Amino acid sequence: MDTSRQAVEAARDSAESSRRSADEAAAVARIEADREHHRLGPTQTTVPTSFNEPHAAGHRDLFGTIILARDYRVRAFIELGPNGRSEASLPAAVLRANEPYRIFIEKWPPGQTKPEASAVLLKLWPPVETDAVEHWTCRCGRPLVDSRRDDPGHWDVRLPLEDPTGPIVMQGSLIA
């Protein structure tokens, strides 16, 4: 084998080795980005629920509490059965870390014993420059802003409702 042919084969081997190294580096970077994405995501797994005082008409309102470990831009929905949902009322588009946010889930008429709603659905994004909170970002490649109502979140989270706390009003009597 002559020298030029050996040089060509060595160059091919080197190029193939470089390609494999680049592929492995990209795979490791993707794994690290996914780990960081998971670490930056919300940690709440369920929504504690509670009632307000009964209204004069006898119904009560069921509320849920959201507490996030870091500042997020948020859009929330109440899951109503397998195919239904309604947008939840939030006090702000950005929820601050470690502050409890109470959201209305549903009205409970006298006689109701379990929620019609099953979960709170959260779409979350890192804060943007104009938000008056600590700025941070996730570099995983998923969307960083909520541009349209039906766009996916950077994190899409389903938080099942916990059983309500406090007494349930049943047609004039209390159930513990």
What are the sequence ranges of the domains in the chain?
1-40, 44-171
* pLDDT score recorded for residue 175: 36
Count Cβ atoms within 10 A of the Cβ of residue 161 and give its class: 0-12 exposed, 13-18 middle, 19 or more buried: buried
* pLDDT score recorded for residue 29: 72
> pTM for the complete prediction?
0.76
- Decide if 120 contacts 90 (C-beta within 8 A): no
* pLDDT score recorded for residue 75: 92
Phi, psi at residue 40, to the nearest 5°? -80, -15
The vertex-168 CA angle with 108 and 49, nearest 5°, equals 70
Q: What is the CA radius of gyration of the chain?
A: 25
100: CB partners within 8 A, 6+ apart:
65, 66, 67
- Decide if 159 contacts 122 (C-beta within 8 A): yes
91: CB partners within 8 A, 6+ apart:
101
How far is Cα 161 from Cα 105, in angstroms, rounded to an integer?
9
144: left (phi > 0), else alpha (psi -120 to 50), else beta?
A: alpha
Blockwise average pLDDT, block size 10, the chain, 176 residues = 74 71 72 86 92 82 94 94 85 89 91 89 93 91 78 92 66 37
